[in-house]
Amino acid sequence: MERLQERINYRFNNPELLRTALTHSSYANEGRGLRSNERLEFLGDSVLSIVVSEYLFELFKNKQEGDLTKLRAALVCEKTLAEFARGVSLGECLLLGKGEQNTGGRERPSILSDAFEAVIAAIFLDGGMKAAKEFVLSFVVEELKKPAARSSSDYKTTLQEIVQQNSEEKLEYVLVGESGPDHNKRFTVEVHLNSNVIGKGSGRSKKAAEQQAARQALELMGE
C-alpha cells in the first residue's frame, strides 16, 4: 500500500479506504473480516463517468453528443481501465482469494478495471472530488493523446444511434446465460429489437457480453 500510494501520487488520510478498494470479493468471502471493494466500485464508476464527461465536454466544444458518448465509452471501458491499473501495478497490490490467486486474477481485466474504479471512489471519499478528478485525469489526458483512443468502437452506442432513428423501436439487452466458477464467470447476453433477437455475445463481464451482442447485431445489419 505504501508503494502504491507513491505510484498513484496520492497519500490517504484514511488508509483503510485504500485497503477496502484493494480487497476482492474472493478474499473477503474467505471469512477474513474485511469488506470487498464492490460498493466502492459502484461509486467509483459514477465519479469516473462525471469526471470524464465534464473533461470531454470542455475539451471538445464542437463535438456532438454521439461523438462524445463514443469517446467516453472508449476511455471508461474495461480494457482501458485495466491498462490504467497495470500502469501503476495495481494487480500486485490486490487482496485475492486462493482461487483467484491460482488462476491469474491479478492480470484479469475485469478484476483490474473494477479495482481501479474502487480506488477512484476511495480517493473521492478520502480527499473529495478535486483529488479524484486529478487522479482520473492523470490517466485520461495521456490516453487521449493516443490515436486509438479517439477511434475505439463502442458497438452498443453505434447500435443505439441506429435504432433511435425510429422512435417506435425498442432495444433491450437480456442476460440468457451465466456459467463458470465465481473467479472465472462467463456471461451470455442477447440483444432484442422489439421482440426479435438480433445479436448474441459472450464475455467475462456483462458489459463485455453486451458489446459482443451489439457487434453481432451491427454485422447483421451490414454496418
Cite the active site residues: 45, 117
Dist CA 175 CA 187 (whole Å): 7
Q: In what order do the strands lie in the sheet with 171-179?
A: 171-179, 186-193, 196-203
Dist CA 62 CA 86 (whole Å): 33
Cα–Cα separations (whole angstroms), residue 35 to 12, 75, 147: 18, 28, 39
Rg for the chain, CA atoms, rounded: 19
User: Is residue 172 a contact partner of residue 196, using CB atoms and an 8 Å limit?
Assistant: no
